[in-house]
Structure 1
Amino acid sequence: MASEAPANELSAAQKLMQKHAEAPHHVTVEDAPDEDLPIRSSAEASSSAEAPAPAPKAAPKQAAAKTLDTQSHELFPELGGPKGKAANVAPIWGAKTANGAASNGGSRSSTPVSGAATPNKPSMFIPGRNVESVTLDPQYILSRSQLKRPIPDIIKDLNRKSRATLSMNTTANGRYKFDATGPQDVAQQAIKDLVGQIGTRTAIKVPIPQSARAHIIGKGGSTIKRIQETSGAKIQLPKVDESNPIDEEDDDATIDVTVEGNALSAASARDQILKIAEDRSANVQTKVRGIPAAFYPFIAGQDNAFAQALAQDSGAEVRIPPLQAYSTGPAAVTANPGERPIFAPAGNEDNHIQLAGDRAAVQKARAEIERRVAQLHRELAAEQLSIQRGRHQFIVGDRGVPAEQFFADTGCSILLPTDEDDDVITVIGPADEVASGLEKAMDLAMGMQMSNLDIARFHRNAPGGAAAHASNVTRYLRQRKEIERLEKIYNTHINTPFSEGGALPWELYSREGKNAIRAQSEITGIVNAQPPSRMSAIPIDPFFHQHLRNNISRQVKNDYGVQVVVPEASEGNVPVLLVFEGPDPANGPYQLPSTKPTDAEIRAFKKGLEDAQKHILELINKQEAITSAELDVPAKYHERLRRFIKKEQESRKSDQIPVRVSKNGTRITLRGPASAVESLAAKSNAFVEQEKEDEKERGFTLSFDFPQKFANHLIGKGGSNIRELRDRFDVEIQVQDGKVELKGPKAKAETARSYIQNLARTLADETSHTLKIDPKYHRELIGAQGSQINRLQTRYKVHIFFPRSAKSADDEQSNVDVEEGAKPRRQQAPDEVIIRGPKKGADEARDEIFSLHKYLEEHSATATVAVQQKQVGSLIGQGGSALDELRQATGARIDVPQDRDTDIVEIQIKGTASQVAKAKKVLEEKRAVFDDTVVRTLDVDKKYHKALIGAGGKFMPFMFIQTVTNCYRLQPSRHCRQGRWL
């Protein structure tokens, strides 16, 4: 608002002050505003400070009759000094510097845009004399009967209490203008206090993108709480519709935020909300719904050319989902021959085109896509053709061509049905290209040779029907992955269709007919080896299927040699199948037989199947009758109820089958043994009722002090600890500036407080010891895989930290490391070991580590003895007996390296000084004997061996003694080696 100074509003003293302030060296020129100029809109006020175009005056009564504009910054002014670029909102009133104009490089204060006159300010700036102004319509001021005292009396009272000076004037158009002179923050608070006492309460609705809701609330409600505290207004957001969850990636939907307060507080809260919403929505993400998925490749263009051009032209990011060749429903339906097809839009469960970027760019891209979609509706045609279902896989997909290549080659897209009973393919494209696309699809489908193999004919007289037995064989071979093996070996695809009566003939597809013939030959042998006597079907309630699969099938295979084939969920209501295989071979996996069984084998089949069936039915019959119960639970309690049920199920007995839980809307279904269902249903109902009661106390808050230095412990790494506490106690937890605030039901909040305060006491008792230990002892102190230190940490409830360089990769994986939420690791010297934990435990752990260290020092004498690699075997002895004997005799630790690639081996000796010396002496003596040994070999004709040895080897002792004697006589300084021909 331009400033003006009517003479009848200024006292003589004020006029004199202005004259004194207007010194020649501070002269400024300011346009004199015209009172008859129309009020500027907020948009005009924010765009420029130029004078607006004249407009006809409106009578006061007409103005009063206007519809209330809750977005008007004129009617709902806000407080504050000049602001940066905000949410396209111009401030209604703000801090005025005393000069009222930008002079000598100073920034000009923001001016009111309410249209009311504002007195001229002195041209000279006086520090601490800011003027805050607000102009209000009479409708936003309480009537005299509603006010406790007249407004002048309220102003006088505030002037006595505040360092700012408040004044009130009435403008020419009947509005009330209030000024506060003083330091900026004091003046602003004075205006807030005044309007808080005289202003009427009103409620306005502020529309924001639905995706900005979480940002308005803030973490734990911190943002909305701050807005309410700073503005003084009450803010309410609509409740979340649990049945229609918010799509965080879609910025199209909006919600209305209700702001309640006086004109000043409501405007302040509104502007802060809009600022957050604009910051959040400067870049938007949205999904383009209602477009048929069949159009996606045509919108993207070949090689994604159209999508790239659209992104470049609009400046938005465009993501178009790839075409899914298989569709659960027809994407294009031809109503009648000669008529245009009707394309069904993509459903909620399908992927949608996504746009992201600047809002204007996104809108431009959306408009272009919608134009393109309208064009495709006019131009695209669709043709349908029935092709044998088994051949669909050879058109597009893993066994055909990629869907993108089909589109590039033909200019058409193709959709294949997923329904087992549907064999109609749909080709979509421009009218002049659909025919060629259909031809291409037929060529691909018929490019594979196909042959049928009716496995039911191998056992025509099977009890229950040949087709039913063929179905059992097919299920068994599928579960055993035998069909997959055949497909890989023969490069042939095998389709095994089913009908209600059983298995249909198998379809074998191959590009080379010889491969299919070879596959048929092996399949024939396998099926002949699976007579009805090898299999048995038993109907079992599907509830027990998972229990059979996880807990019973392996035991049955080990005890009875019977393979249990449990139906998959997709197979529908089919019985459990037992197949006799016999015990697993010891030399590898079980191999399916390919020959007919003998009569003896058939008798073994019968015995094994009967015993296995009896065992399974006994286990099942021991279980209680299966029943179900339904609970109607509001959606907002589902997540909490899910966690509760999970906890209850984990605490069940090991032999009890868990209750199955399913959800449909707000209905929760429990199915399982009667007693378990009854118990869990009662507990769940009680839990939900308690949650409903707790919901009434969700606004309860509890605050208490918590040492700031332990805040990281409470919060944990990435907030992990505090999330766990929130789930555990079902309360919101905020930690800030040495305070913890709990919000939730009173009882739960008090329980959480007790736990957190106990944690604080535990942390306060924590102490830390730094031990100086030579790094060469660290590995033995840690132990293998950290076993030694883990034991100490568990026993004394402390953390023990070794320098990282001292640990191996395996040791580093032990918990000799800081846990989540603990204090950050400081740098450790190579000879430092840090112990941290409760004082008593830390002291005891320190003493034990010192004792162990002292022991290691006393037993750390070392020595090495180098021996020849050839001697190592004799030193170790059979099964290590010789080495163990030496260890026991000396008490030393003796380690022989495993390396066998070197000629010389260094044996490590460790222990006390005396133990090491004794062991070293023994080893060196053995080494000397070995080194002085001379070996001579004589070649003696084999025919003399018997005579030399003698009957029963009677000459051997004499020969040995004589040889040793001769050896000493010839070479007294050397020893002869025993048992050799010398």
Structure 2
Amino acid sequence: MASYDQLPVAIDEAALGVDLLAQLGADDDAALQQMLREISAHEAELAANYAMPSSSSAPPAASVGNPLLAAHHDDDLINALMASPAAIAEPAKKKPTKKQEKIDLASAEAFPTLGAPQAAPKSVFSSWSNRTTLAQTTGKSTANASVSAAHKFSESVTVDVDDVVPVLVANPDQMSKALREVARKSETTISMTKRTGALVFMVSGKTRAKVEAGAKLVLPAVCPKITLSVTIPASARGLIVGSGGATIKGLQDRTATKIDFPRAARAGDAAASDESAADTGATSPEPEAAVRDDESDDSDADDEETDVLYALARRVPIEEDEPSIAVTITGAKHGVHLARDEILSIVGPRAAVAKAKIGTDLFPTTLYPFLRGVRNARVHDLEAQWGVKIHVPPTSSTDENSVIVLAGDMADVRAARERLVDVRLQLEQSTTSADVTIEKRKHRFLVGADGAHLAELMEKTGCVLDIPAANDALTSVTVRGPSATIGEALALTLAKANAVSVAELDLVPHCAGRDASLAPILARYLAVKDRAQLAAIESAHGAEIMVPRDTASTVVEIVAKSLDAANNVKAQLQAHISGKGLFLATVVPIPSEVHRHGAVKAAIATARDALPESAEIATVSLKADSDLADELAVVMWDPVALAATKKGKKPAQAAIAAANAALKTHADAILAVAKDAAEIAVEVLEAPRAVHKYILGAKGASLKAIHAAAHAAGGEVPLTIALGKPESADQVLIRGLKSEVKVAANKIKAIVNAAAAAAEQPTITKEFDISSKYSAHIIGKGGVHMARFMDQIGVQKVEVGNATPGAATVKVTIQGTASAAKDIEKQIREKVANLEDQTTTTLAVPADRANT
């Protein structure tokens, strides 16, 4: 029979007891008694397999060598727990024994969980460790006094069994040897216990520094080393290295990893490598996909089609925002992942250097809603799994620009291309569709406010609706989704359509001469000017008045729970419109910038004073229609003309003619005032999208400066500068006062021309040294200064090198045109000179006076 002292890893009974006391509470007598009973059962089982060691200091036989069993009172129990050593020491000299039996560390039978059933512990791979003093762990002040001399501080490290080196799990002798080496290096003692699916290592020592050092060494000692590559912008290298290498050194110390940059950090290396990989079809290992193993009568044809899709995915080009380099991280799995996350955090939004656009040939638009999921839940899950950002267009349109965009690390984006094919195949196999005919006017009610009904249908059934466009004559609606829930989705769709009744009010009869072209303007007036009155009618009847936004529509729809209620609202709305008079309107070409100008408002007030008291005149901006953005509608309500229409055709025609003449007179006066108020100019410049970052500048600083210089005088007329408008991403739109537009256009043209000239110049590399103590100031907090350097025309790379320990200087490398490199060097040297002229004095201030 094997003996206790042959166990390669000591069973740390005191540590187990302390852990249980922390969970149960030392004052809970019933809990302690239950703990003792379970430990007794555990000891009895071990005693049947292992002989107890002989020692002059061994406790009485009744205690089976366990200090927990020798103490049946709370104080004695705690003292015994604190006195028991909690360490992995060198094994004592052994007497000849029978052949040692191998112990399975993962065996719940050999190492049962003590105390009440516990939930699986939180893995170290989601938090580094639980840092606490032993006194805090026990919750007893007496415990601290008992152990302060030996183990004042402790820290636990929890590791999933699956993440431990397999040979250490299978061979306890090697595990013990590895832990003894860690204990020797860190001058600590280490105990190990087993919990469900995990190993817990308790590191104890006299100082916190030694305990923390030991805890950091545990993972590298018991977990296999892995290597991970992270792609970052070449310009961000200095951010990772930090001043004098402080950032990278601290990162390596915190995560117990080794972080390497490529020896030759040429900006084009990584980009060329990635481009080559894309051209040759080189990719990461193919992700597992159950759909590939699907067996059917047409399996050969399906496999061929699937192979075509994967090949198509591999040929999707990957673009880079700027040249990149690969950072290699080596160490234990958890530490590597921590280091990767911190690097990406340091790099910030600049980390997403690679992008791939997935066209509709690879991922059909009909599957977009399933990819997004309920409120984008599925796409967020995929982003977390794949490590990339996924942009899915908001609508299932057939627009050629409606593509999925993957953005992130180069390797992750490359792998995500094929994983999207997996998702497509899974969705195509699991979904079906069915058509149902629903009245055209009820289609909008299937959508709900802000798509609420569609989201509800997706949440309940996993199905989506394909609803024809408003200008499409089709009345059928397509339901798509899982075969198991398609019937339920159809039923819910029909119920939603039948849950409302609709009444319609045609606006044409309320327009002068029944002119249908005036109906859209009347609808716009109701939506803008009479919104409050319509809301009051809706609230009183629990209905919804839906004013048409489409200029081709002339009908207002009233939605209510019953047809009677809808008709009541219709009658009330009709009375409201008729009470205002006959509707007349004319449109005048006034730029939108002048619609609210003080002069225009004064002209409207003058026209209102000239009309009879019962008549009304107003203006309505037609911005809702982009084609009419620079037009203003002048409208008039004429009760006299309305009354004349009821007296016969001739009186009606005469009254309408007179009203139109008066309206035209007032509209011409308003137009004349608007022209005199401001001379508006519109200019569209051709500016390649790649140049927009120079126009915009760091955090929009350059664009703000252009706007401020051009619009220095202020005034009522706004100045608009829009990048990527009106018709192309390579255009810039400028609108405003003619004089201001000219100033802004000249400044933007200068930037465009400078960028074009820089593109024709050769690139040089310039290197010079600066004092290492100023490198952090040159980089700036979060790399803010480096970002500003990179936003200057002609600059391709600015990097502050890594200083070796004790080095007085660091190297600054600039790549770009000769003039750009010279300018950046001048800026850096001037900043260093200013820093050298500054003096820093440190004063010692008593703590009690620090806030005075």
Superposition TM-score tier, normalisation by shorter sequence: 0.3 to 0.5
> Which TM-score applies when normalising by structure 1?
0.40
Determine which structure has greater relative contact order: mean sequence separation of CA pairs < 8 Å that are 6+ residues apart, divided by chain length: 2
Rg larger in structure: 1
Query: Which structure is higher in helix share?
Result: 2
